[in-house]
Amino acid sequence: MTDTALIVIDVQSDFCPGGALAVAGGDQIVPGVNARMAEAAAIVLTQDWHPAGHSSFASQHPGRAPMEVTRMPYGPQVLWPDHCVQGSPGAAFHPDLQIDRAELIIRKGFRPAIDSYSAFFENDHQTPTGLEGYLRTRGLMRLHMVGLATDFCVKFSAVDAAKLGFEVTVELELCRGIDLDGSMAAALDEMRAAGVALV
């Protein structure tokens, strides 16, 4: 349908096996995502894109380990291993992802002091990425989301989109999650509660 966009979230080497923040089976979705893109009317890719020394990296917090939670001025923040550093091989899309038909690549997480999981807002839930305006002005009000990680960037993107009034479907077989302390089950509940269709 001409009002439907496929949003492909963070299918990058660092989120795939062998990468810095590998999501189990992350690479398994690539053939299916390619097939999905081949039939999509409009395609947007997102790319996690951090400067070196980003504040979400545990390496910037002495005495703290990856996967611990800290408090930032904007709320709780998981501390991650260094990942998706701008221009690094790990920040590149998975080498088998067919990106040529994508019309927009939205990069996020580039402000040193704030993380950005959602494709729409940074983690303060206020600073916009610009994606809402792009989709609205193109009349793309139905969104299908696929990608990594189900319980972080996919969930935050889907919930924000639903709150903004988009009709949102998450295609779970083309997503994989991190599952930190039950975050997978919680993410599915949150998406359902926000009115996101899970298929």
Residues that bind Zn ion (CB under 5 A): 48, 109
Closer residue to ligand VGL in complex, CB, 92/141:
92
Candidate list 10, 27, 115, 151, residue with the active-site label: 10
Taking the complex as a whole, how short is the minimal distance between the CB of residue 48 and Zn ion, in angstroms?
4
Per CB under 6 A, residues contacting ligand VGL are 10, 15, 48, 80, 117, 148-149, 152-153
Candidate list 27, 108, 151, 175, residue with the active-site label: 108
Taking the complex as a whole, how short is the minimal distance between the CB of residue 74 and Zn ion, in angstroms?
15
Contact 174/33 with Cβ under 8 angstroms? yes
Taking the complex as a whole, how short is the minimal distance between the CB of residue 166 and ligand VGL, in angstroms?
19
- Decide if 163 is catalytic: no
Q: Secondary structure of the chain in the HEC alphabet? A: CCCEEEEEECCEHHHCCCCCCCCCCHHHHHHHHHHHHHHCCCEEEEEECECCCCCCEHHHCCCCCCCCEEEECCEEEECECCCCECCCHHHCECCCCCCCCCCEEEEECCCCCCCCCCCCECCCCCCECCHHHHHHHCCCCEEEEEEECHHHHHHHHHHHHHHCCCEEEEEEEEEECCCCCCHHHHHHHHHHHCCCEEC
Q: Which does 57 bind (CB under 5 to 8 A by kind): ligand VGL, Zn ion, none?
A: none
- Decide if 10 is catalytic: yes
Closer residue to ligand VGL in complex, CB, 117/120:
117
Candidate list 16, 84, 153, 175, residue with the active-site label: 153
Q: Which does 120 bind (CB under 5 to 8 A by kind): ligand VGL, Zn ion, none?
A: none
Taking the complex as a whole, how short is the minimal distance between the CB of residue 76 and Zn ion, in angstroms?
15
Closer residue to ligand VGL in complex, CB, 10/171:
10
Compute the distance between CA of residue 142 and CA of residue 169 in angstroms, rounded to an integer: 8
The residues carrying an active-site annotation are 10, 108, 153
